[in-house]
Amino acid sequence: MPSGHIQQDTSRARPAGPRPLAPIPFDVEAVFPELAGTARTTTLLYPRAGQPGPDDSSIGGPPLWPADEPWPTCAEPDHYKPLAAPVGPDPVAMVPVVQLYARDVPGLVFPAGTDLLQILWCPLVHEDDQYAANPRLHWRSTALTAADVADGQPPRPHTAEQDYLPRPCTVSPTPAVEYPIWDLLDELSEQLRERFEAFREERGFGYFEVATTQQSKVGGYPSWTQPPDWPDCAGCGTRMEHLLSVTATEPGSGRWLPLDERNPSQDQATTPSWRAEADPDALDTFGHHMDMGGGGVDFFVCRTCPDTPYTHRYDR
């Protein structure tokens, strides 16, 4: 990536602002008072295939990268591509996964002096306790980085597991309120199970469908697909904060499908949001096309310790 100054491409369509969403179709805490106080604000990202640039928030897009900082590589001796020949001694170029500007995600808390979050990872399976891609997280100052940025596209890895190679996507950060899935206490989950089932039979939709999310998002609850595995900070021992999730799932139907992407042949006035289907012409643009075992990667930070240490959990 040679040195240069990147000019904003004004011909490139930028993503729309927050997507229009249907309201939740019932009062969660009135129907299930045991859930009072468990609501959290999250920012849904809604990745859509596109041509984001370094000046855009994106998933899989080119990052705003300092010209004097070498592109990161991974030389772990035990990383591999399943069912393929050994990787060999050559370092593997990391791939950009997430770039978020503070201006686009007001709910994301940035460390002092920074306003740009970047996550890259080695797109191979690693023989650690996660058995997944190996990420690195960077907090940057846009002003300092933009003073002298690398030009061109990031290098491509010479080998990669396709499950960890995102296609370039714009994002439309959208605030929403969600309730817990797996983070319900065991005794509370048991207590509510029969009532959840009765509620579904009565209303035609379930609590988990309309009140919880498992898509790519910032903040809120981790997108667990199995029992929670909250990490504790190695430095201070406190439970770390959920930063964001990159998941394999993007809603192609139901309550979390943006209203402007619903099938125009469905009458929105008579079709309830939980039965909405996506516009077939738009469906191919949904998501970053990483399968990740059907789950996702959740990122966590500690805001108490210096340098905002981070870790991740691969949830599949």
Distance CA 139, CA 245 (A): 17
Here the tokens at position 89 are 């001694």
Question: Residue 15: what pLDDT?
Answer: 53
Nearest to 3 by CA among 145, 98, 143: 145
Closest CA to 128 of 78, 74, 91, 72: 78
Cβ within 8 Å of residue 237, ≥6 positions away: none
Q: With helix as H, strand as E and coil as C, how does 216-284 read? A: CEEECCCCCCCCCCCCECCCCCCECEEEEEEECCCCCECCCCCHHHECCCCCCCCCCHHHCEECHHHHC
pLDDT given for residue 289 in this prediction = 94
Per-residue pLDDT of 55-64, as tens digits, reads 999 999 999 9
Q: So what's the pLDDT on residue 6?
A: 35
Q: Give the residue among 6, 196, 159 at the shortest CA–CA distance from 85.
A: 159
Q: Which pLDDT value is given to residue 16?
A: 58
- Joined together, the tokens standing for residue 301 give 């930070």
Rounded to two decimals, the pTM is 0.92
List C-alpha distances in Å: 302 to 80, 130, 306.
Answer: 30, 19, 9
Strands 169-170, 241-247: pairing kind: unpaired
Q: Ramachandran region of residue 60, left (φ > 0), alpha (ψ -120 to 50) or beta?
A: left
pLDDT of residue 17: 80
**Mean pLDDT per 10-residue section of the chain, whose length is 316 residues:** 39 65 95 95 98 96 96 93 89 97 96 97 88 94 94 90 95 97 80 91 94 96 92 96 96 95 89 93 95 92 95 90
